[in-house]
Chain A
Amino acid sequence: MRDPRVVEILSVLALGPGEQVTLPDRLCAACLSALPVTGVGVALMTVDGPSGVVLAVTDARARQLEELQFALGEGPCVEASGSGRPVLEVDLLVAGPVRWPRFGAAVLDAGVHAVFAFPLRVGAIRVGVLDLYRDTPGQLTAVELAEALAFADAATEVILHLQDHDGHDGARSALTGPIDSRAEVHQATGMITIQLGVSLAEALLRLRAHAYATGRTVSAIAADVVSRRLHFDDSESGTTNRQDRR
């Protein structure tokens, strides 16, 4: 069920050079060298739109474009995150100013002629956007598009991995593979949302943290939740992350 290319991308990232270069930076660099584009950026998103946090970029222009979209509240990454669908604008000269009146003009001034934005999501959970820029117009081929989608999946996993470490200092999760596509994981996420009264994003983090804390796989924990053998609650011991955390 797991895309082998995503697994490959993540394993190469995990082998990267120490702590000096962050995982998102490595991901953007790898994406840039794998695809015929001029720049790559990863921005974090919230339900309401861009969070203003640019996680990584390959160059100053990519950063400028990411920040511009946040400032203007419009652009491909805003649109991709909102709709949950990729935005593939192959000729900004023709369509840019019509589609995004302010961003469209600015992006052309910066010399960018094509933009491809991929939403980073786990079902209803929106975590960010992967933006690819190119200074020449034109489509991505089917093979390139598949490659870009694999990088988007890898970027989603990188962001979740970073969130694991943010919220749960004790957990030492390894960047091992893409998000499990098994239905039980997502069903369990929905159940934990209600059990704890938290968002889906938070529920997924709790599920993952519990797996790391107990040394079991995410899908094994999910199966226990779905079969109602395991119930997440903040008051009892053993099954709650709050106790594992501190």
Chain B
Amino acid sequence: MTRQKDNGTMTSREQLLATTFVELADTLVADFDVIDFLHTLATRSVELLDVDAAGIMLADQRGGLRVMASSAEEARLLELYELQNNEGPCLDCFRSGRPVARDDVPTMRASWPAFTQELQLLGFHSAQALPMRLRTETIGALNLFRTRPGRLSEVDLKIGQAMADVATVGLIQERAIAASELLATQLQTALHSRIQLEQAKGILAQRTGLPMDQAFQLMRDYARSRGRRLSDVAAQIIDGLLDDEMLRNGRRTRPDTSPRA
């Protein structure tokens, strides 16, 4: 089996892994942003694991799942599809609190007929989910999508689960620290950050003529190359403080940041 992303040395993957764990553990900062944090988890999953897209769902204050972050538009669409049709690996994973995977497309189809069809329509042939769980509490799931069929390797699975675990501890810890602001209000705020992100995507897509997912990519690359929070960049776009030229130039300074290159 050839791994597409193993062009670099093992050392660079290990370095990214180490950086990622620090990023995911770093929730105790004054300006912690749930959406930014989850985007980091989604994009790092794609960079570190043998997957092509990743998405995260979290439970809201009533236990209903919400799509919170995704590395690509397709992953977001698939998660929405799961919620609308009440079928798919992520839902099974959230309900059971255990990892969910299938060996191949036929067994996926047997478990989730409608979802598997939608998955293939979007160009993927494998989907699996890892729980975001601490002890008995499952707060959501990390969903991994691949264009090639089959399960992730054991090593990738362990790394993926470790990332999900660290992120979960971070989220729960953050909730405990911010005593007056429970997870419910955090999620409410995060949902509006998410809406704000969509509003900014629309503004940018209209201004540049780019498709929605490329407009998002532009925003995200700019945020990352400048070390800025995605929600701050979105707010600046909405306030008209960032023109297209600034965004494109910001991106060019770090051409290696695109996870879908």
Report A's interface with B, CB cutoff 8 A. Answer: 1, 3-5, 84-86, 88-90, 121-125, 139, 142, 145-146, 149, 152, 181-183, 185-195, 200, 226
Q: In whole angstroms, how far apart are the Cα atoms of A1 and B191 in the complex?
A: 12
Q: A123-B197, A145-B184 are in contact. List 8 more A-B contacts (CB 8 A).
A: A86-B181, A121-B192, A124-B195, A142-B61, A183-B76, A189-B199, A190-B204, A191-B205
Given A85-B185, A149-B188, A187–B61 Cβ distance below 8 Å?
Answer: no
Interface size on B, residues (CB 8 A): 37
> Does B62 lie within 8 Å of A3, measured CB to CB?
yes
A125, closest chain B residue (CB)? B199
> Does B198 lie within 8 Å of A123, measured CB to CB?
yes
Given A190-B202, A193-B202, A5–B235 Cβ distance below 8 Å?
Answer: no
A183, closest chain B residue (CB)? B198
Question: Residue B157 at the A interface, CB < 8 A?
Answer: no
On chain A, the residues within 8 Å of B260 by CB distance are none
On chain A, the residues within 8 Å of B188 by CB distance are 86, 149, 152
> Does A85 lie within 8 Å of B199, measured CB to CB?
no
Question: Residue B238 at the A interface, CB < 8 A?
Answer: yes
Q: In whole angstroms, how far apart are the Cα atoms of A183 and B194 in the complex?
A: 9
Q: Which 5 A-B pairs rank lowest in CB-CB distance, beginning with the nearest?
A: A190-B202, A123-B195, A186-B198, A123-B196, A187-B202
Contacts of B169-201 to chain A: CB distance below 8 A: 180-182, 184-185, 188-189, 191-201
* B160 to A: closest C-beta gap in Å: 25
> Does A190 lie within 8 Å of B206, measured CB to CB?
yes
> Does A5 lie within 8 Å of B202, measured CB to CB?
no
Q: Can you list 24 A-B pairs with a CB-CB distance of less than 8 A?
A: A1-B84, A5-B62, A86-B181, A86-B188, A88-B180, A122-B195, A123-B192, A123-B198, A123-B199, A124-B196, A124-B234, A139-B180, A145-B61, A145-B182, A149-B185, A186-B195, A186-B198, A186-B199, A187-B201, A190-B198, A190-B202, A190-B203, A193-B202, A200-B238
> Does A146 lie within 8 Å of B184, measured CB to CB?
yes
Question: Residue B48 at the A interface, CB < 8 A?
Answer: no
